[in-house]
Amino acid sequence: MTRFFGVEKRQFLVLIFASMMVACVSVPEGITPVTGVDFQRYQGKWFEIARLDNSFEQGMEQVTAEYSSREDGGIRVINRGYSIYENEWKEAEGRAYTVNAPDEGFLKVSFFGPFYGAYIIFGLDKVEYQYTFVAGNNHKYLWLLARTPEVSEELKSQFVTEAEAQGFNTEDLIWVNQVSDN
């Protein structure tokens, strides 16, 4: 029987896998999720205004996220966008659940079976629910979402300033085209 650090190999691998899974659902250093989120008001359609590029959204335009209630108390997530590389619409359905308090902007979201990633709301218009700043489990994932396909220059500037203060590289932001050419 092979042992690592006094633990049987199989148990060791389970511990490593579990640690990796927890790391994907953690809050990045220096980022604090907002509290007082009303997830009933958060539901509905959001337009992706800006993002840091990531493998699952490369070449995507007109990206939206739509949130609704699930029977199990979670949140249904429908992400949709137009692939300029494949000239077709793509859609992914997932599910999200709060991690700590039910009104904290720290959720875990899954689009692939039992695998979850972090969804951290670190900025939110708590009055009108017109915009939100979202991070993933590290500083490589960042989004500005809004209820409308276009936002003011003032909001864009506020987002960039806040994201920079949180340690994001805003020079790499993609400002998403929300205008249909199709």
Structure confidence by residue, pLDDT tens digits, 106-120:
999 999 888 999 999
pLDDT score of 176 more than 60: yes
Q: How far apart are CA 106 and CA 39, in angstroms?
A: 11
Inform me whether the pLDDT recorded for 16 exceeds 90. Answer: no
* pLDDT for the residue 181: 61
The half-sphere exposure of 113 on its side-chain side, counting CA atoms within 13 A, is 2
Higher pLDDT: 51 or 30? It is 51
- Going by pLDDT thresholds of 50, 70 and 90, the confidence category of residue 21 is very low
Q: pLDDT category, 6, cuts 50, 70, 90?
A: very low
- Compute the CA torsion angle 116, 121, 127, 131 (nearest 10 deg): -90
Distance CA 169, CA 167 (A): 7
Q: What are the structural domains of the chain?
A: 3-175 (2.40.128.20)
> How do 142-146 and 44-52 pair as beta strands?
antiparallel
